[in-house]
Structure 1
Amino acid sequence: MRTTLFVLLLLNAWYRAAAQAPTPLTARQDKVSLTFAVGPDGYPTYAVSYGPKPVINSSRLGLSFADGRGFDGPLVLVGSETKDVDETWQPVWGEVRNIRNHYQQLTVHLRQPAATGRKLDVVFRVFADGVGFRYEVPAQPGLAYFTVQDEQTEFNLPGNHKAFWIPGDYDSNEYAYTTSRVSEVNTAPIEAIQMKSAPNRVQTPLMLKSDDGLYVNIHEAALVNYPAMFLNVNVQTFSLTSQLVPDATGTGAKAYLQAPEHTPWRTIVVADNAPAVLASKLILNLNEPTKLTETSWITPQKFVGVWWEMHVNRASWNYADTSNLKLAGTNWARLKPNGHHGANTANVKRYIDFAAQHHIAGVLVEGWNVGWEDWANNWKEEVFDFVTPYPDYDVDELQRYAAAKGVKIIMHHETSSSVTNYERRQDAAYRFMKQHGYDAVKTGYVGRIIPRGEHHDGQWMVNHYAHTAQLTADSHIMVDMHEAVRPTGLHRTYPNWMANEAARGNEFNAWSSGNPPEHETILPFTRLMGGPMDYTPGIFQIQLESWNPARNKGRQVHTTLAKQLALYVTMYSPLQMAADLPEAYNKHLDAFQFIEDVPVDWDDTRILAAEPGDYLTTVRKAKGKDEWYLGSITDENPRQQPVKLDFLTPGQRYEAIIYADGKGANWQKNPMAYRISRQVVDSKSALTLQLAPGGGAAVSFKPVKK
């Protein structure tokens, strides 16, 4: 009886203390303000506003643990502190030379009375363009190892915003975007790629636009040792609740952690205009500085490669057509070649010659290594060894030939999602690369992950991607990951992690319903918020039947040729592929000149005009040069885009070379019509770009010698 009375008195004292919680805590930067409070019920909440407009209404915070004693119950605020940070740093490569990191930080210290005083910190950083926050579990007695079952993180929207979303598939980001009101989110009618999703679950980055003119982007930063965050949408209340990707045990466990530990940052970018969202460096600023002590070997570059010809059915990845490799034993020469293998020595030399002729640094070669016949989505553990070439691919001869031409070959490692097999073989694979002059690798994770049941976006795979970034860095290898989790700014920490796919890329135009013309106007506001994308632009042969009439009937890229040029500016990546075949480019070398000229590393970037789903005009200044490059794209609607040239150096005259949609151009009816014109301009000049339906324009500005 005395014990019961003591507990009641203790709880009564705690509730009195909670009811007398201090005035809500605030942090602010320019128009963005954050408010944190612990309510009378003991639950912590936060809210965000932009000037007088609410961005996120009061929303819950918390972590649930598998032992039932997580930080999802009543908590007590025991202290807080603030600090101001204003610094500038230089990325190894990127869209701008200098990045300002200016924020006010609020750290709140919480205690859990019901679990022997467990402690949790929540750290908020408030920038002029948004807010980042994360949970931090400090070292403490009685809490060493713990399993996160869920997060209680909410983003309660003040209205039924317009949303640009894809389904919350734990294993794929390769969907076309749906534009709808939050109340209309429903993934059920969408054809699944590898769907493991609830009907109202969406992926981040999630782009939103309010009726009162605010642009809001919700994502995360510095995803390390933790599963990716998805969002469950309440279509009645417009509330978004975090959903973490589960592991393979079937228990609902999400993350296995050891204190001290912290979650990734949850990010909210907000502005009253669309260009400001694209200009935000909030996500990059929330990542840790580079772990690499020496980075001179990291070289942003363009590349061509043996790739698109497989997608348009001109060649195959596999050397033979049989899958019965036991007949061949270890003697791959016993396999009967099919005559369609793309990665043969003579064909690769053809790409090397083209790259050398047009000052392209790299040549990607897919299908060079044995094992493609044995894959066929059989969920087999060991398919590739990453060091054994097919009989018709002469590694040593191609190394010599490429070096003589001043070109580097880019390695391809398709893991067939047998990730444990890849990890066993990575050291040998990277040694093989360095022995044969390869400085960059494109990895792939097509299919269901082995070990069975793990997800592409779960903690196990997130750790694999970071491990691969570190291993490649140790060998001075740059990496481009396909079918990986969408990026969260980790290219600041691992600048050799140059690009990801992690979205519906250009290749979908070759073998599916394709990407709608609005697709490339949405991706910068969604997928690219976290980092560069290997979108593989530069397709010139828009209508694909000419490559293989029987297998490509009716298929085409859903843009004009001029828009493909503009993508080199609007879709940022330090690794940019000129994805089409050399013979397609040789027919249009005047247009290819833009691809040859356009840089992949920049001193400055300006977003001149933008509206998600409609249009985008971006201009960038080349690294170390007084040259500017502009890309302008539109959706399915024709558009007239005025451009002031006040970004140019005052007093300097430039030759503007304008690559535009030609007369009658249309992505459906006349996609390959383009025209090239020249004029001399300066910072007081203006252009008016005529964009065809599904079209675009690309412009280079080079100084005129005085």
Structure 2
Amino acid sequence: MKGIFLTALFCLGAFAVQAQSLHYASSPDKRIRLTVQTDAAGELTYALTFQNQAVIAPSSLGFVFSRPAVTLNRFAVVSVDSAKADETWKPVWGEVAQIRNQYTELAVRVADKAGSNVQMVVRFRVFNDGLGFRYEFPEQPHLKHFVVADENTQFRLTADHTTFWIPGDYDTNEYLYNTTKFSEIDPLPAAAKEKDIALQSLIGPDAVQSPLLMKTTNGLYISIFEAALLNYPVMHLRLDKARLTFRSQLVPDAVGNKAYLQTPAKTPWRTVLVSNKATDLLASKLILNLNEPSRIADPSWIKPQKFVGMWWEMHVGKADWPLASGKHGANTTNVKRYIDFAAQYGFDGVLVEGWNVGWEDWFGNWKEDVFDFVTPYPDYDIDALTAYAKQKGVRLIMHHETSGAVTNYERRMDDAYRYMVSKNINTVKTGYVGRIIPRGEHHDGQWMNKHYERVAEKAAQYKLMVASHESSRPTGLHRTYPNWLASEAARGSEFNNAPTLGINPEHTTILPFTRLLGGPMDFTPGLFRLRLNQFDSTRRQRVQTTLAKQLALFVTIYSPLQMAADLPENYLKYMDAFQFIRDVPVDWDDTQYIAAEPGDYVAVARRGKGSDDWFLGAITDENARVLPIPLTFLNTGDTYKATIYRDADNAGWDTNPEAYKIDKQRVTRKSVLNLKLTKGGGCAIRFKKVKSEK
């Protein structure tokens, strides 16, 4: 850590500030300005500008407690502290080798004017790319244990912005994105189109989810989100169209309460990212910087991985999870075939789903003791397979589907993790399909968020890595728990098999601006057979992408745990294209976002960890386009061989999706590549240094 400094500028101590008070803080580069104000009545508001353009109009802050029965919406300012920080830290893994954390802080301590004597601190941090703020409740005589009924945080807009949103839902994030004006947001009809989501718990006609992206008419990109979600429910957003306002909507528990807290307590950070460049918003590390440093003292055992899986077979009808189905995929012979493929082509692991007893009765019954996580089916010889994998230099990846029976999983975690260690398995994919047990809890509620944290902590005790599915969307906690490598928590590649909507071409151009701001996604790219009638001629689903775009997704959708999703036999038909998947890293020293527009296109270049090689991915929506890509990210004085995996001239996601071309040429940082992307298409490039003039 270098260059860190914290300096108190002023402190008013126990002396109350005047009834009307106004306080300012600016980002280190002075482009962003925060204003915090209390008026004569005691309403506490904040406002934000970017280069003198209003981003968030004066917006109220406050709380309602159900126990004690207190409404916090009128305050007297007790004290104001200010500080600055500038540090550089190194992530265990990630998109870059080091991250700068630079901000100006304003901490406003207020007291309830209504007579409860409750005090809280609102802590603001202003970065060069946005704002983070949270509520803190210090130890105090008049508040110890308390129950949150509502958090009244407002985000008041300045105009009817273009908005990228999904319907508000307490249990799933697996919607396609909608792009409308703020005034045209209509969640219930959008949700009604989604016929393939297993469980919906819609909030109402005025609710959407965060992270929420907006674009203004004068070219500002604004994201509303949160960071460091610990011991608290997810923050969704309710909209008031008449007042151009979003208000926080916390996820309730079974009896309607939002959070149970004890002082000292703090909420997650509420965040507003803002930039006049789409690429700068994608490059933001504000969410990570608001999370606490790693709680794992020695993370040397945590390793990013690339893997294949006995998984897509079930989605395309070749195999099934239950033994009783008659086509059980997780059998010894079949999994050995995947181990052989992984070993031959340089993959680290093999995910196996459906290996354990219980799949005949796993979904929809709201039942506790379906899985014990240590009993394999009789046709799955786990000892023989783990020994075989070890001999081949590959590890199996465990799958723990809980079927929503979370209390059952918590009772069995120690046994399950000891079992994994005994079988030389160091990574687990957890799943939470269906309604949560105990009844009435939601995937996004405080109770479940505590569970996800407990899984990360418990797994770390056994030196295990985790990828969570059907969990709440990440908020940068992979900094604090670097063994929590990835989450699903959005509409991932398995929805390419959904018979109703699937995944439209623009979806993957929006994810980097929304879901991926919080952390890596286990999206599972790499499908090469793009009509899904391979084993069932009645299937009409068509993956809305080209093969070249599937390659590019390995770069545009970041994850340190990347799965090549398709079947081995489908890769063997396109071995020259498969080479890119073999070559592309899963850990990086540098990332440069080259070109981006949400809903249209994304182009990003990354340099491999400890390598001189760069990899570039570019993807487009349903529209064909040409993207000029200057190669200024390459080293000065060096020459590179560019291997370009592109859409063929006659390709298109709906006509000829598997057509591609591979070109090779010498380039330098002075070169510009004009990438021709077909509709639903993409381009993937490897730049390998071949000559240095230094």
TM-score, normalised on structure 2?
A: 0.95
CA contact (8 A) 1:315 1:342 kept: yes
Quick one: distance in 1 between partners of 2:64 and 2:666? Answer: 63
Q: Is the aligned partner of 1:157 residue 2:151?
A: no
- 2:105 maps to 105
Measured after TM superposition, the shift of residue 381 of structure 1 is 1.0
Q: Deviations over 1:358-406 (max 9, x none)?
A: 1000100000000000223111111000000001100110011000100
Could you tell me which amino acid in structure 2 is paired with residue 196 of structure 1? L
Specify which of 573, 589, 594 is matched with residue 580 of structure 2. Answer: 594
Quick one: distance in 1 between partners of 2:230 and 2:601? Answer: 34
1:62-101 paired onto structure 2 within 5 Å: 62-67=62-67, 69-70=69-70, 72-101=72-101
Quick one: distance in 1 between partners of 2:123 and 2:502? Answer: 42
- 1:288 maps to 292
Quick one: distance in 1 between partners of 2:312 and 2:386? Answer: 22
Quick one: distance in 1 between partners of 2:665 and 2:386? Answer: 43
Could you tell me which amino acid in structure 2 is paired with residue 295 of structure 1? P
CA contact (8 A) 1:499 1:574 kept: yes
Quick one: distance in 1 between partners of 2:480 and 2:22? Answer: 38
Equivalent residue of 2:555, what SS?
Answer: helix
Could you tell me which amino acid in structure 2 is paired with residue 21 of structure 1? Q
Q: Is the aligned partner of 1:274 residue 2:272?
A: no
- 1:47 maps to 47
- 2:426 maps to 439
Could you tell me which amino acid in structure 2 is paired with residue 233 of structure 1? L
1:376-387 paired onto structure 2 within 5 Å: 376-387=363-374
Q: Is the aligned partner of 1:213 residue 2:200?
A: no
Equivalent residue of 1:115, what SS?
Answer: coil
Could you tell me which amino acid in structure 2 is paired with residue 215 of structure 1? Y
Quick one: distance in 2 between partners of 1:230 and 1:22? Answer: 30
CA contact (8 A) 1:27 1:106 kept: no
Specify which of 393, 409, 414 is matched with residue 380 of structure 2. Answer: 393
1:597-608 paired onto structure 2 within 5 Å: 597-608=583-594
Specify which of 313, 336, 342 is matched with residue 349 of structure 1. Answer: 336
- 1:24 maps to 23
Q: Is the aligned partner of 1:703 residue 2:689?
A: yes
CA contact (8 A) 2:331 2:355 kept: yes
- 2:362 maps to 375
Equivalent residue of 1:470, what SS?
Answer: helix
Q: Is the aligned partner of 1:629 residue 2:615?
A: yes
CA contact (8 A) 1:18 1:38 kept: no
Specify which of 292, 301, 304 is matched with residue 305 of structure 2. Answer: 301
Quick one: distance in 2 between partners of 1:179 and 1:116? Answer: 44
Quick one: distance in 2 between partners of 1:491 and 1:514? Answer: 29
Q: Deviations over 1:124-160 (max 9, x none)?
A: 0000000000000000002110001101100000010
Quick one: distance in 2 between partners of 1:21 and 1:182? Answer: 33
Measured after TM superposition, the shift of residue 117 of structure 1 is 2.2
Quick one: distance in 2 between partners of 1:371 and 1:20? Answer: 63
- 2:662 maps to 676
Quick one: distance in 1 between partners of 2:27 and 2:38? Answer: 19
Identity within the alignment, %: 57
- 2:7 maps to none
Measured after TM superposition, the shift of residue 20 of structure 1 is 4.2
Specify which of 457, 460, 480 is matched with residue 493 of structure 1. Answer: 480
Structure of greater Rg: 1
- 2:671 maps to 685
1:325-364 paired onto structure 2 within 5 Å: 338=326, 340-364=327-351
Q: Provide closer, same or farther for how the CA distance between residues 440 and 511 of structure 1 changes in structure 2, counting only shifts above 3 A.
A: same
Quick one: distance in 2 between partners of 1:181 and 1:475? Answer: 48
Could you tell me which amino acid in structure 2 is paired with residue 315 of structure 1? A
Specify which of 531, 547, 551 is matched with residue 519 of structure 2. Answer: 531
Specify which of 226, 241, 245 is matched with residue 239 of structure 1. Answer: 245
Quick one: distance in 2 between partners of 1:73 and 1:525? Answer: 33
Q: Is the aligned partner of 1:569 residue 2:549?
A: no
Equivalent residue of 2:447, what SS?
Answer: helix
Quick one: distance in 1 between partners of 2:662 and 2:24? Answer: 58
Quick one: distance in 2 between partners of 1:627 and 1:682? Answer: 13
Q: Deviations over 1:260-294 (max 9, x none)?
A: 00000000100001001000000000000000011
Measured after TM superposition, the shift of residue 71 of structure 1 is 5.2
Q: Deviations over 1:539-575 (max 9, x none)?
A: 000111123213x2x2111100000000000000000
Quick one: distance in 1 between partners of 2:367 and 2:682? Answer: 44
CA contact (8 A) 2:19 2:42 kept: no
CA contact (8 A) 2:167 2:202 kept: no
Could you tell me which amino acid in structure 1 is paired with residue 409 of structure 2? Y
Structure 1 unaligned segments of length 5 or more: list them. Answer: 1-16, 322-337
Q: Provide closer, same or farther for how the CA distance between residues 572 and 206 of structure 1 changes in structure 2, counting only shifts above 3 A.
A: same
Measured after TM superposition, the shift of residue 19 of structure 1 is 7.2
Aligned residue pairs, count: 669
Measured after TM superposition, the shift of residue 185 of structure 1 is 0.7
Quick one: distance in 1 between partners of 2:574 and 2:631? Answer: 28
CA contact (8 A) 2:20 2:42 kept: no
Quick one: distance in 1 between partners of 2:219 and 2:74? Answer: 36
- 2:507 maps to 519
- Worse-superposed segment, 275-284 or 67-76: 67-76
Could you tell me which amino acid in structure 2 is paired with residue 84 of structure 1? K
Structure 2 unaligned segments of length 5 or more: list them. Answer: 1-15
CA contact (8 A) 1:71 1:120 kept: no
Measured after TM superposition, the shift of residue 27 of structure 1 is 3.8
- 1:639 maps to 625
Q: Deviations over 1:609-668 (max 9, x none)?
A: 000000000000000000000000000000101111111111111110000001210001
Quick one: distance in 2 between partners of 1:73 and 1:300? Answer: 46
Measured after TM superposition, the shift of residue 212 of structure 1 is 1.2
Measured after TM superposition, the shift of residue 188 of structure 1 is 1.4
Measured after TM superposition, the shift of residue 74 of structure 1 is 1.4
Quick one: distance in 2 between partners of 1:82 and 1:148? Answer: 28
Q: Is the aligned partner of 1:582 residue 2:582?
A: no
Specify which of 456, 471, 493 is matched with residue 506 of structure 1. Answer: 493
CA contact (8 A) 1:18 1:41 kept: no
Could you tell me which amino acid in structure 2 is paired with residue 216 of structure 1? I
CA contact (8 A) 1:171 1:455 kept: yes
Could you tell me which amino acid in structure 1 is paired with residue 28 of structure 2? Q
Could you tell me which amino acid in structure 2 is paired with residue 590 of structure 1? D
Q: Provide closer, same or farther for how the CA distance between residues 197 and 20 of structure 1 changes in structure 2, counting only shifts above 3 A.
A: closer
Q: Is the aligned partner of 1:478 residue 2:465?
A: yes
1:162-173 paired onto structure 2 within 5 Å: 162-173=162-173
- 2:528 maps to 540
Q: Provide closer, same or farther for how the CA distance between residues 621 and 198 of structure 1 changes in structure 2, counting only shifts above 3 A.
A: same
Quick one: distance in 2 between partners of 1:121 and 1:63? Answer: 12
Could you tell me which amino acid in structure 1 is paired with residue 148 of structure 2? V
Could you tell me which amino acid in structure 1 is paired with residue 377 of structure 2? Y
- 2:322 maps to 318
Quick one: distance in 1 between partners of 2:674 and 2:113? Answer: 65
CA contact (8 A) 1:632 1:696 kept: yes
- 1:3 maps to none
Could you tell me which amino acid in structure 1 is paired with residue 493 of structure 2? N
Specify which of 254, 259, 269 is matched with residue 255 of structure 1. Answer: 259
Measured after TM superposition, the shift of residue 682 of structure 1 is 1.1
Q: Provide closer, same or farther for how the CA distance between residues 485 and 376 of structure 1 changes in structure 2, counting only shifts above 3 A.
A: closer
Quick one: distance in 1 between partners of 2:111 and 2:363? Answer: 53
- 2:206 maps to 200
Quick one: distance in 1 between partners of 2:374 and 2:605? Answer: 42
